[in-house]
């Protein structure tokens, strides 16, 4: 893995640089503004990267094997998108969890080995914090503790929603629900793009997350586009044209026909 120490933000003038995060990733970092974890680490330990904290760049597809990480760390996703990718004995691939900028992957709370590898689904930056360091940070920083607890609660409810999607919903309903999940969990490219959803990875990854085939995902997007529910100005960009209709489908409005 490639160290991110010294990574500089680009495309911002000096006034805008005053608002950038301590890690130098500027506004692209998920831990932005008051949730900037790097500034809290600096305040708590008087160091940009205290001992036991490292930042890494991950290329798309690059894996982190949990057993190679020291002291059951907590991983903060700074940029990109990261998944827990597992393979069955016959080679079938599934993505059991998605993590976006501002999310924590809390390996410190596991009482068993993680089933799968932490995999970058797009070029990503992560911050790995050893458990003792992160526990001290939670004790010293109310902001970090509050954000961490809020995020852990959000992940729990998101996993419950996703399990319901996999158990009961039809393919088109899963795709609709997935678009709302992305909309709720990721920032728009621009503040004016309220109903525009950026998809940070390919159709295969979507399929492996939703328990579908890539061809089924592609057909689902085509169907929703043909019905005027969404538009695809780019392959990795979805504009929601009819929020009410998409919500109806996501909530179970497109059941299978009887006997199918």
Is residue 123 situated within a structural domain?
yes
pLDDT tens readout for residues 197-240: 999 999 999 999 999 999 999 999 999 999 999 999 998 999 99
Among residues 92, 126, 152, the one where a domain terminates is: 152
**Range name among 17-21, 59-63, 137-141 with the lowest pLDDT average:** 17-21
Residue 86 pairs in a beta bridge with: 94
Name the average pLDDT for the chain: 83
Structure confidence at residue 25 (pLDDT): 58
pTM of the prediction? 0.83
Write the pLDDT tens digit of every residue in 44-86: 888 878 889 988 999 999 998 767 777 789 999 999 999 999 9
By residue range, what is the domain housing residue 23? 2-152
19 and 121 within one domain:
yes
pLDDT over 60 at 249, yes or no: yes
Same domain, 11 and 128: yes
Q: Which of 32-36, 101-105, 178-182 has the lowest mean pLDDT?
A: 32-36
Same domain, yes or no, for 133 and 173? Answer: no
Domain CATH number, residue 126: 2.60.120.10
Element (H, E) at 86: strand 82-87
- At 36 the pLDDT is 81
Residues 108 and 57 in one domain: yes
pLDDT range class, residue 4, cuts 50, 70, 90:
very low
**Count of residues making up the chain:** 260
| pLDDT for the residue 192 | 52
| pLDDT attached to residue 2 | 41
**CATH number of domain containing 189:** 1.10.10.10
E-strand ranges in 88-236 read 93-99, 104-106, 117-120, 124-129, 196-198, 230-234
Quick check: is 258 in a domain?
Answer: no
- Residue 259 inside a domain? The answer is no
Domain contains 158:
no
Tally the domains of the chain: 2
Same domain, 44 and 95: yes
Rounded to whole angstroms, how far apart are CA atoms 139 and 148? 12
């Amino acid at each position: 893995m490639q160290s991110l120490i010294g990574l500089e933000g680009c495309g911002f003038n000096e006034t805008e640089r005053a608002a950038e995060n301590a890690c130098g990733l500027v506004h692209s970092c998920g831990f932005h503004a008051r949730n900037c974890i790097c500034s809290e680490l600096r305040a708590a330990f008087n160091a940009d990267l205290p001992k036991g904290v490292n930042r890494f760049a991950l290329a798309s597809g690059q894996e982190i094997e949990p057993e190679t990480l020291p002291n059951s760390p907590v991983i903060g996703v700074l940029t990109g998108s990261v998944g827990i990718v597992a393979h069955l004995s016959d080679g079938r691939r599934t993505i059991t969890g998605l993590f976006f900028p501002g999310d924590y992957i809390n390996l410190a709370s596991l009482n068993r080995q993680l089933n799968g590898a932490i995999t970058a689904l797009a070029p990503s930056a992560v911050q790995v914090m050893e458990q003792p360091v992160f526990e001290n940070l939670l004790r010293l920083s109310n902001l970090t503790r509050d954000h961490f607890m809020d995020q852990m609660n959000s992940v729990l409810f998101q996993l419950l929603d996703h399990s319901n999607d996999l158990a009961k919903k039809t393919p088109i309903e899963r795709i609709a629900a997935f678009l709302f999940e992305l909309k709720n969990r990721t920032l728009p490219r621009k503040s004016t793009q309220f109903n525009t959803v950026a998809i940070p990875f390919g159709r295969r990854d979507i399929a492996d997350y939703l328990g579908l085939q890539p061809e089924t995902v592609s057909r689902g997007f085509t169907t929703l586009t043909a019905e005027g529910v969404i538009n695809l100005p780019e392959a990795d960009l979805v504009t929601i044209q009819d929020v009410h209709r998409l919500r109806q489908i996501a909530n179970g409005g497109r059941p299978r026909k009887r006997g199918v």
